[in-house]
């Protein structure tokens, strides 16, 4: 399984998350959370740093962020 995973990761390329703000369109991206097949996932699209900082406040709106798996 690991060789297959490594191969897929090599095709994906490297992800770069710049320290500076992205475009206004990216900062307006929607972050979505759902439970799929007993796994909590979060889809962030192309949200930039400012948009992702808003996700920090999700628990204050009644949204649970615990248990999200990172792939």
**Domain coordinates in residue numbering, the chain:** 27-71
Q: What is the pTM of this model?
A: 0.53
Q: How many CB atoms lie within 10 A of CB 22?
A: 16
Q: How far apart are CA 71 and CA 62, in angstroms?
A: 24
Residue 48, judged by CB atoms within 10 A of its CB (0-12, 13-18, 19+), counts as buried
Rounded (to 5) percent helix, strand, coil in the chain: 35, 15, 50
> What pLDDT was estimated at residue 70?
57
10-64 pLDDT tens trace: 777 766 777 887 888 878 888 888 888 888 788 888 888 888 888 777 777 666 6
pLDDT band at 65 (very low <50, low <70, confident <90, very high): low
Q: How far apart are CA 20 and CA 31, in angstroms?
A: 19
1 pLDDT more than 70: yes
> Which of 67 and 58 is assigned the larger pLDDT?
58
């Amino acid at each position: 399984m690991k060789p297959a995973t490594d191969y897929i990761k090599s095709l994906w390329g490297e992800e770069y998350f710049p320290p500076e703000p992205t475009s206004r369109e990216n900062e307006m991206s929607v972050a979505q959370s759902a439970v799929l097949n007993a796994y909590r996932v979060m889809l962030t699209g192309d949200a930039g740093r400012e948009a992702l900082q808003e996700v920090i406040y999700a628990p204050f709106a009644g949204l649970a962020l615990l248990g999200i798996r990172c792939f």
